[in-house]
Amino acid sequence: MLNGPNLNLLGTREPDVYGRATLSDIEALCRDAAAGLDVDIVFEQTNHEGVLVDLIQRAGREASAIVINPAAYTHTSIALLDALKGVDVPAVEVHLSQPAAREPFRAASYAALAAAGSIAGFGAMGYALAVEAAARLARARLA
């Protein structure tokens, strides 16, 4: 579970857009979802693009699937797109808000070009849905 810039501020950051759940709340939600699906998760957040690239590469070596909320880098980062394309594990893109229904610059997603699918607009619940999607994708590849 990889989280990009400013998501450490969830809870107080634009709560009308992102809700009141903190990133710790979301991590707990994801751990519950993962436990129910009998999968292990590693939960990370960074404000730095290059660190996200490193984390994607590490997931490519150590994980069966990636869930990523690239936050603002969704709309700007070819480096993240290339990293996601460069690893042989499926990725699920998740957003709390529905970027396509916001400012026009949020409509484009580089991450979507590499993701198996995207979940957006469901708030914190979207993370639980993304964990389930990632687990299903990972298991389908092992079947």
CB of 95 to ligand DQA, least distance (A): 4
Which active-site residues does the annotation give?
Answer: 18, 95
Determine whether the annotation assigns residue 2 to a binding site.
Answer: no
Given the complex with ligand DQA, which of 62 and 103 has the nearer CB atom?
103
Report yes or no: 73 and 6 within 8 Å, Cβ to Cβ: no
Given the complex with ligand DQA, which of 69 and 77 has the nearer CB atom?
69
Binding footprint of ligand DQA on the chain (CB under 6 A) = 6, 69, 71-72, 74, 95-97, 99, 106
CB of 119 to ligand DQA, least distance (A): 10
CB of 101 to ligand DQA, least distance (A): 10
Determine whether the annotation assigns residue 97 to a binding site.
Answer: yes
Determine whether the annotation assigns residue 24 to a binding site.
Answer: no
According to the 3-state scheme, what is the secondary structure of the chain?
A: CEECCCHHHCCCCCHHHHCCCCHHHHHHHHHHHHHHHCCCCCCEECCCHHHHHHHHHHHHHHCCCEEEECHHHHHCCHHHHHHHHHCCCCEEEEECCCHHHCCHHHCCCCHHHCCCEEEECCCCHHHHHHHHHHHHHHHHHHC
Given the complex with ligand DQA, which of 64 and 98 has the nearer CB atom?
98
Q: Residue positions in the annotated binding site for substrate?
A: 69, 75, 82, 96-97, 106
